[in-house]
A and B are shown apart, each in its own frame.
Chain A
Amino acid sequence: MLTKVLYIDLSRYRYSVEDRRDLFEEWIGGTGVAVQLLKENMNPEIDPFDEESTIVFAVGPLNAAYPLASKTVAMFKSPLTLNIGESHAGGRTATSIANAGYGAIVITGKSKKPVYIVVNNDKVYFRDARVIWGIEDSLIVARIIAENEKGRGTRSVMRIGGAGERLVRYACVTTETYRHFGRLGLGAVLGSKNVKALVVNGRGSRKIVDRKAYREVYDEIFNLATESDAMKKYHLLGTAVNVKPLNEKKGLPVTNLKFTSSEYAEELSGESFAEIIGRRIACSHCPVACIHIAALRLPYENEPYFYKTLMLSYDYELIYALGTMLGMKRKEDFLKLLYRVEAYGLDAMTTGVCLAWATEALEKGLISEKDTIVKLEFGNSEAYCEAVKYLIHQPNEFYRILAQGVERASEVYGGKEFALAFGKNEMPGYHTGYAAHIGYLIGLRHSHLDNAGYSADQKMDSYPEPEQLVEKLMKEEQWRQVLSSLVVCFFARGVYKPDIVCRALRPVGMEIEEDELVERGKKIYFEKLRLKKAMGFNARELRVPERIFETETPHGKLNKDYIERAIEYFAGIVENC
């Protein structure tokens, strides 16, 4: 079992390691343990940029032991929502942390000067980052650090770009070029601590209790991952396969959700992007290789016969947020914007929703071109590329406010009815029905991945009473606490069913029965909910943007009363937990 916790104190440039078997036995790992470590190490009422604000990275018992267990959970207080920040990233993050021998890394304090942290197996180093502070392209930052540090192939370089340095409240942390701790602003929290990057290099192993059983259950999982249909969607076109069916069903948000289908959906579909796939890449220890990379070949502006080729990873959420939501007409336009957003290290989903709101606010005259500097209009990629630069440099009051998210921007400038944030987190790409929207509202991270309401919508012909729908979504979210404590990729939820999870845990030293496992997920869920309350969450204050009632869904137009009843029911659960 991975039970060691590495504590890094940036204020004193010290570190220590503790064996926290107690935590890992009770709370499994990942999300379960991260909630406890955050509770232990941070006052929940603190400002996310305060010196005492804490970041936890946690892995679990299946990481580096089984395929598809490739995720790390980051937990912190979100500067975007001022509530729980939790985001998951793959790449080599999880295997590097696990192979370095840690179950979790806790980062506290604040460095006086810019540093990057290097965890090299059992040692921690604080490196001078003054020279690389100010490099806004996160890819360049990573290349420089990779030249300086050991561990080619066994390290993860988790870094921020210009967005994190400038405290954009939805700055992400990028790792292995194409993976992100994307949502809720972890990049800004690292930036506030003067940390440009966290490098973790791990090259160890851990002992197996029963070699034979280990190989057997490993092979079973491997075969399910490679031969069954469980991972097929991700292995073939990837999540971008969703564009066409959602467009046909009228569940695809287009131009700030004024519409739910677009004549350009075909151009922005998974099938269309497949024509320009340059290569595929995998997270460490995952045979699926779901990372689809488009090759964008662009001529030099002023010289004939010179080309550069940008390699950009895309998936459904990015196509939605920076594509359909902004009325993009051509995939090249979308990719050019994506390139900017990636380089600066912004969360693509929040950025897209913010820009979509700003475009409509400009159309309606709530803001002027004096505010936006460039004329934002749906489909105008160049203008959006400029605007992204302004989000980083914040040359005026408008961009300083838009860098705080769409909730804040609409508080200042109006247009709340079309400011598409739920629990202050910008909307994901599904306008599929009640379950999606209620899911965003009641999900503890306000993410579509909390409870997959979008999936429930697509499986239901008619809806139960709102209270029952809330129960259904909560049940899914509770099971997902188990998955994110192990920590396996949510894409592998079709492989990691309770039975196989229990059998996989035994050889790595954890005996647990199926019922108990499910119960553990419920316990973790309520621990997280209580932490959310301690950070000030009140379900009755949840705002529902009017726009979602105005636009057609695959289930027709939504009724406000149904969603209000769902919130009321959930508020009762929150109060009594």
Chain B
Amino acid sequence: MTKIKRLVIKDIEKCVGCGMCMYACSRRKGEAGIDGSGILAVSLSGFERGATVIFCRACTEPPCAQVCPTGAMRAREGGGVIYHETECIGCGNCIEACTINAIFRRSNGKPAVCVHCGYCANYCPHGVLAYEEIEPEEFSRVVV
């Protein structure tokens, strides 16, 4: 399988929940806010238990693409999806289909999904995110 560059987690335990990544994602689309963000920073049942980020893990068989009725969401070679907003009818099937809840609904009803551009990694100040070329099987590796 082709190796592609993608957004990876270097060490999730370092996440402070600042959400700089979220804001970067929408900013890349020319927005101030998080409407278009394909990544979400959350606390783990409250911040006393820490924080994490949720984004597309670049499945090689993405269920979200499988349930898209118009072909707006397509599987990308090497994992993850390519999304064409102009073909999207905003049915929300992809949002429902994602097992890890990594597709988000925008205010216009259409999905926001990480396309692994890596822009947000430039703004992660604490070494949680990086943009790297890796083998698909390496994607879920544990970092200690």
Binding site for B on A (CB under 8 A): 64-65, 67, 95, 98-99, 121, 139, 142-143, 146, 152-154, 176-178, 203-208, 211, 214-215, 218, 222, 226, 279-287, 289, 291, 293, 311, 508
Contacts and interface: CB of A to CB of B under 8 A. Distances in A.
Nearest to B51: A281
B31 A205 contact: yes
Contact of A280 (B16, B48, B123): B16
B41 interface: yes
Contacts of B86: none
18 contacts: A146-B46, A153-B42, A153-B43, A154-B34, A204-B35, A205-B31, A206-B31, A207-B30, A208-B30, A226-B125, A281-B47, A283-B18, A285-B20, A287-B20, A287-B123, A287-B125, A311-B48, A311-B49
A149 to B, nearest CB: 14
Chain B interface mostly: mixed
Q: Which of A154, A218, A508 has the most CB of B within 10 A?
A: A154
B32 A143 contact: no
Contacts, number: 108
User: Which 5 A-B residue pairings sit nearest by Cβ, starting from the closest?
Assistant: A205-B33, A205-B31, A282-B18, A205-B35, A153-B42
A211 B40 contact: no
Q: Which of B19, B31, B46, B49 has the most CB of A within 10 A?
A: B19
A552 to B, nearest CB: 39
A276 to B, nearest CB: 14
Q: Which of A65, A153, A285 has the most CB of B within 10 A?
A: A153
A139 B47 CA distance: 10
A311 B45 CA distance: 13
Contacts of B40: 152-154
B48 A293 contact: yes
B115 to A, nearest CB: 17
A34 B126 CA distance: 35
A268 B48 CA distance: 22
B107 interface: yes
A171 B137 CA distance: 52
B45 A206 contact: no
B32 A208 contact: yes
Interface residues of B, number: 32
B101 to A, nearest CB: 9
B30 to A, nearest CB: 5
B90 interface: no
Given A208-B30, A282-B18, A178 B47 contact: yes
B32 A205 contact: yes
B47 A203 contact: no
Given A64-B23, A153-B41, A207 B31 contact: yes
B27 A215 contact: yes
A285 B19 contact: yes
Nearest to B126: A289
A283 B40 CA distance: 14
B20 A67 contact: yes
A204 B33 CA distance: 6
Contacts of B32: 64-65, 205-208, 214, 508
Contacts of A285: 18-20, 23
Contact of B46 (A177, A211, A215, A218): A177
A141 to B, nearest CB: 11
Contact of A222 (B34, B50, B123): B123
Contacts of B35: 99, 203-205
Contacts of B47: 176-178, 281, 291
Contacts of B34: 64, 95, 99, 154, 203-205
Nearest to B40: A153
B136 interface: no
Nearest to B13: A279
B36 interface: yes
A211 B126 contact: no
Nearest to A309: B48
Contact of B19 (A207, A211, A214, A284): A284
B17 A282 contact: yes
Contact of B43 (A176, A204, A289): A176
B46 A287 contact: no
Contact of A99 (B30, B33, B51, B126): B33
Contacts of B41: 153, 284
Q: Which of B20, B40, B54 has the most CB of A within 10 A?
A: B20
B33 A64 contact: yes
Contacts of A280: 16
Contacts of A282: 16-19
